[in-house]
Amino acid sequence: MLWLLFFLVTAIHAELCQPGAANAFKVRLSIRTALGDKAYAWDTNEEYLFKAMVAFSMRKVPNREATEISHVLLCNVTQRVSFWFVVTDPSKNHTLPAVEVQTAIRMNKNRINGAFFLNDQTLEFLKIPSTLAPPMDPSVPIWIIIFGVIFCIVIVAITLLILSGIRQRRRKNKEPSEVDDAEDKCENMNTIENGIPCDPLDMKGGHMNDAFMTEDERLTPL
Amino acid sequence: MAHAPEQDPATSDLGEERPKWDNKAQYFLSCIGFAVGLGNIWRFPYLCQTYGGGAFLIPYVIALVFEGIPIFHVELAIGQRLRKGSVGVWTAISPYLSGVGLSSVTLSLLISLYYNAIVAWVLWYLLNSFQHPLPWSSCPPDLNRTGFVEECQGSSAVSYFWYRQTLNITADINDSGSIQWWLLLCLAASWAVVYMCVIRGIETTGKVIYFTALFPYLVLTIFVIRGLTLPGATKGLIYLFTPNMHILQNPQVWLDAATQIFFSLSLAFGGHIAFASYNSPRNDCQKDAVVIALVNSMTSLYASIAVFSVLGFKATNDYGHCLDRNILSLINEFDFPEQSISRDDYLAVLMHLNATWPKRVAQLPLKVCRLEDFLDKSASGPGLAFILFTEAVLHMPGAPAWAVLFFGMLFTLGLSTMFGSMEAVITPMLDVGVLPRWVPKEALTGLVCLACFLFATCFTLQSGNYWLEIFDNVAASLNLLILAFLEVVGVAYVYGMKRFCDDIAWMTGRRPSPYWRLTWRVVSPLLLLTIFVAYITLLSQKPLSYRAWNPKYELFPTRQEKLYPGWVLAACALLSLLPLLWVPGVALAQLLTRQRRTWRDRDACLDTDTSSRQEWD
């Protein structure tokens, strides 16, 4: 009798959970792609955890707080690691509508991913699109910060160059007038000193004494 | 012996000494920096690969020897001898030819406008490279956050970042759109950097050029070392350099080789003339010309090694991903365990499955993966830098660092070319005395940079990229060819070959050999004429069209081929003709003034005759 009941239950379960059945979802895991060497093997314990996570997600839906792990049925587990699952109602005769299951899974996808160390690409619920993470928009884009830094440096450099150019030009303009002043002062001093006009005396370099030169020429060459 | 110029070359009319280079290295690096530009990175490797790899080097070297080096030597020699910018030089050679100098200045201005817009794009990418993950690595999610933006999904994340998030391009050139503020900021920054560097002419560029000319070589070396150690690099290099001799029968190859060497050396801009004019007169310009031209070509080859090792890596990577996607489809369909089919087993397994379950295999989206297809996917110009290379960099470990290095290199390459273009404009302006003497040089350079920036804002419009392509194809090519032809002919025939050879003997200490005399007299002008005629023929054969990025196109992401509307064609004609109008215009003006002077002199003579005759009477 018990055997009969057991067969009946599994038969009903088999009908509820079938590839392509109503309200059934296919799940595909790529554990080795995600974890490489640290990949764990997919066994019945992992399946238990999966059922627990789905039940947990369903319990978050209003009116479904009574969902138990036994209400989640898995079938057709392949070596790929892919399988189908359905969630039944407490009477275990009907499956819950796909929309409810979809909403529940979408809301808790991150928790489910985390439980298995996978992400949206390696734990796929076919027919349930995952919500992509919002783009990480910092309040000020990074490029503006770097642009601001570079631009400020360039503006400062330009200002410095212009100012140094102005200073150089001012110095150059002052120099010839300064040199002129010095020369005037020199001449003034020359003429003032001793009261003797010194103009004939050439202060710079040697000056040939004409008389001496003509003396030389008188001497006959050897 | 050459006659000394009437005026002491060391001082200009204004009594101020002409600025000169601090040392020979600055002059060398400035010329190399001007010659080595973005084209060495993104045009030469593409041409090399398209035109039969190693075989392309044959027309390239021939063009270098018979066209590039002779014209380059002419420019350096006349600049160094006559010690003026392009306008002054051509006025000194012959007053009828000063239009050539004015055309050079106009062309350099036009080219600076769009060249710095490209540098602004490079700056934008450089600024965006300082983050991890790089912004072009993934598509942004759409509004529902259930998938990616459709335009991005249809093309690729890098294309989306380039066409949408950078250019925000419209689907048609008629649709100008609005100014993109981020591009405007980058353009302002590029012009500010250019101004900072050319503010006092060669005094400031001479200091900066040590960095901007040498940094690209450092980065290229790093990329060569990194590139050669990447998997698949050798496949890319073999594919690049495998010579295909049959391609030499195609005349297009010779045309492209000649134009490549011409634009690569930045001839006919007037920039080299300006740089050489700051040299001491007794400098061996012949050796300089040969060495700089060779360095430029070696850089092109070196860059193509770096570029193609990275592109080979990318192709191998893409090929691997293509196989992996197919393998995943098979595994998912037949529920095999993960990673049970390796890339090597794929074909065997596929054949087996096709035999046993043909129907199931047929409905799978399996693509044909061939490595050659991925290696063929090359591009030239901005497509190489902003799409192909950015994608390749994503797969290298430490992607942001490589992106910063790459775009930093492109930025400095563009900058050093901009220095040459700006000097080509500013030196003649200073020589001619456009602004009164009391206006400082900083103000002149500032005005020029500001004016260029304001005009270049049209490239920050949404249709800016289409206009840039027009400028690149139309404003630059034909005009420079004609100007170079006039340069060589002007020096060889108007200035006089004997006089020119005497000048060179005075400067370098030896007379130019028959090779130089032959190329200047005959070979280079003929070659330029042939290139010009071939260019015009090819241009007239097919209607001018452009390729637009249109997300609504059926074959998206392939770009849609559209014809230019009438008003754009009129603008193209203006762009290509107006700069050259200086040449006949000035010649005509000179002719008229001379005629008027002779008439006036004749009238004056007649008046004195009649007055003297009256006295006699």
Q: Is residue B337 part of a domain?
A: yes
Q: Is residue B444 part of a domain?
A: yes
Alpha carbons within 13 A on the beta-carbon side of B3: 5
Residues A86 and A158 in one domain: no
Q: What percent of chain B has pLDDT over 90?
A: 52
Residues A21 and A121 in one domain: yes
Cβ pair B395, B312 in contact under 8 A: no
Alpha carbons within 13 A on the beta-carbon side of B168: 14
pLDDT of B491-514, one tens digit each? 999 999 999 999 999 999 999 999
pLDDT of B127-174, one tens digit each? 999 998 899 998 888 887 777 888 888 888 999 999 999 999 998 998
Reported as type and span, the H/E element at residue B121 is: helix B98-128
Residues A166 and A103 in one domain: no
Give Cα B247 to chain centroid, integer Å: 25
Q: Is residue B578 part of a domain?
A: yes
Reported as type and span, the H/E element at residue B391 is: helix B390-394
Residues A53 and A158 in one domain: no
Residues of B near A (Cβ–Cβ under 8 Å) read 124, 127-128, 130-131, 140-141, 145-148, 182, 185-186, 188-189, 192-193, 195-196, 199-200, 204, 331-332, 335-339, 440-442
CA distance B125 to chain A (A): 9
* Residue B219: partners with Cβ closer than 8 Å, 6 or more residues away: B405, B406, B408, B409
- ipTM of model: 0.83
- Greatest Cα pair distance, chain A, in angstroms, is 160
Residues 89-108 of A with CB under 8 A from B: none
Closest CB to A161: pick one of B185, B200, B336.
B200
pLDDT of A25-53, one tens digit each? 889 888 888 888 888 888 889 999 999 99
CB-based contact, A129 to chain B, within 8 Å:
yes
Mean pLDDT of B5-26: 65
pLDDT higher for B171 or A221?
B171
Question: In this predicted structure, what is the pLDDT of residue A181?
Answer: 55
Closest CB to A147: pick one of B131, B189, B204.
B189
Q: Which of B389, B463, B587 is nearest to B163 (CA)?
A: B463
Q: Is residue B617 part of a domain?
A: no
CATH number reported for the structural domain that contains residue B308 in this entry: 1.10.4160
Q: Is residue B2 part of a domain?
A: no
Q: Is residue A204 part of a domain?
A: no
Domain encompassing residue B354: 24-605
CA distance A79 to chain B (A): 5
CB contact under 8 A, B196 and A30: no
Taking the C-alpha atoms of residue B150 and residue B548, their distance in angstroms, rounded to an integer, is: 18
pLDDT of B511-529, one tens digit each? 999 999 999 999 999 999 9
Question: How many contacts does A have with B, using Cβ atoms within 8 A?
Answer: 81
Classify the C-alpha dihedral B434-B438-B440-B443 as positive or negative: negative
Question: In this predicted structure, what is the pLDDT of residue A206?
Answer: 60
CB-based contact, A31 to chain B, within 8 Å:
yes
CB-based contact, A33 to chain B, within 8 Å:
yes
DSSP states of B508-551:
HSSPPPHHHHHIIIIIHHHHHHHHHHHHHHHHHHS--EEEE--T
CA distance to A49, B42, B149, B377, per residue, from B383 (Å): 50, 9, 22, 11
pLDDT of A193-220, one tens digit each? 555 555 555 455 565 565 655 544 555 6
Q: What percent of chain A has pLDDT over 90?
A: 14
Cβ pair B409, B302 in contact under 8 A: no
Mean pLDDT of B184-207: 94
Give the residue on B whose Cα is nearest the Cα of A77.
B335
Give the residue on B whose Cα is nearest the Cα of A31.
B338
CA distance B332 to chain A (A): 7
Backbone angles phi, psi at B364, to 5 degrees: -85, 145
Strand partners, A85: A25, A74
CA distance B330 to chain A (A): 11
Question: In this predicted structure, what is the pLDDT of residue B247?
Answer: 85
Taking the C-alpha atoms of residue B123 and residue B378, their distance in angstroms, rounded to an integer, is: 23
Give Cα B358 to chain centroid, integer Å: 53
Classify the C-alpha dihedral B58-B63-B64-B66 as positive or negative: positive
DSSP states of B29-80:
HHHHHHHS-HHHHHTHHHHHHHTTGGGGHHHHHHHIIIIIHHHHHHHHHHHH
Reported as type and span, the H/E element at residue B176 is: none
Cβ pair A81, B331 in contact under 8 A: no
Give the residue on A whose Cα is nearest the Cα of B131.
A142
pLDDT higher for A134 or B239?
B239
Annotated binding residues of B: 33, 35-36, 40, 264, 296, 413
Q: Which of B459, B457, B475 is nearest to B467 (CA)?
A: B459
Question: In this predicted structure, what is the pLDDT of residue A132?
Answer: 76
The token pair at B427 is: 């030196």
Q: Is residue B351 part of a domain?
A: yes
Angle between helices B98-128 and B582-616 (to 10 degrees): 150
* Chain B residues whose beta carbon lies within 8 Å of the beta carbon of residue A33: 338-339
| Count of the separate structural domains present in chain A | 2
CB contact under 8 A, B335 and A82: yes
Question: In this predicted structure, what is the pLDDT of residue A221?
Answer: 54
Q: Is the pLDDT of residue B12 over 70?
A: no
Cβ pair B187, B122 in contact under 8 A: no
Residues A103 and A157 in one domain: no
CA distance A142 to chain B (A): 7
Question: In this predicted structure, what is the pLDDT of residue B13?
Answer: 45
SS3 labels along chain A: CHHHHHHHHHHHHHHHCCCCCCCCEEEEECHHHHHHHHCCCCCHHHHHHHHHHHHHHHHCCCCCCCCCHHHEEEECCCCCCEEEEEEECCCCCCECCHHHHHHHHHHCHHHHHHHHCCCCCCEEECCCCCCCCCCCCCCCCHHHHHHHHHHHHHHHHHHHHHHHHHHHHHHHHHHHHHHHHHHHHHHHHHHHHHHCCCCCCCCCCCCCCHHHHHHHHHCCCC
Residues A64 and A164 in one domain: no
> Letter for the amino acid at B592?
L
CB contact under 8 A, A165 and B124: no
CB-based contact, A155 to chain B, within 8 Å:
yes
Find which of A127-141, B317-331, B370-384 is predicted with most confidence, using mean pLDDT. Answer: B317-331
CA distance B191 to chain A (A): 10
Q: Is residue A202 part of a domain?
A: no
The token pair at B391 is: 């994608």
Residues A119 and A152 in one domain: no
Residues A76 and A157 in one domain: no
CB contact under 8 A, B128 and A142: yes
Question: In this predicted structure, what is the pLDDT of residue B617?
Answer: 53
pLDDT of B529-539, one tens digit each? 998 898 888 88
CB-based contact, A160 to chain B, within 8 Å:
no
CB contact under 8 A, A143 and B127: yes
Question: In this predicted structure, what is the pLDDT of residue A140?
Answer: 83
CB contact under 8 A, A161 and B196: yes
> Letter for the amino acid at B130?
F
* Chain B residues whose beta carbon lies within 8 Å of the beta carbon of residue A129: 146-147
* Residue B20: partners with Cβ closer than 8 Å, 6 or more residues away: B202, B278, B279, B280
Which of A125, A149, A183 terminates a domain? The answer is A125
Residues A158 and A55 in one domain: no
* Chain A residues whose beta carbon lies within 8 Å of the beta carbon of residue B188: 151
Cβ pair B97, B486 in contact under 8 A: yes
CA distance A218 to chain B (A): 42
Identify the band that residue B342 occupies on the pLDDT scale cut at 50, 70 and 90: confident
CB contact under 8 A, B130 and A142: yes
A82-87 and A25-29: which strand pairing? Answer: antiparallel
Question: In this predicted structure, what is the pLDDT of residue B14?
Answer: 43
Taking the C-alpha atoms of residue B484 and residue B496, their distance in angstroms, rounded to an integer, is: 17
Give the residue on B whose Cα is nearest the Cα of A131.
B146
CB contact under 8 A, A161 and B141: no
CB contact under 8 A, A132 and B141: yes
Identify the band that residue B4 occupies on the pLDDT scale cut at 50, 70 and 90: very low
Q: Name the one residue in this structure whose structure tokens are 């290199």.
A: B409
| Count of the separate structural domains present in chain B | 1
Domain encompassing residue A151: 137-171
CB contact under 8 A, B196 and A132: no
Q: Is residue A205 part of a domain?
A: no
Strand partners, B499: none
Backbone angles phi, psi at B572, to 5 degrees: -60, -45
Cβ pair B517, B497 in contact under 8 A: yes
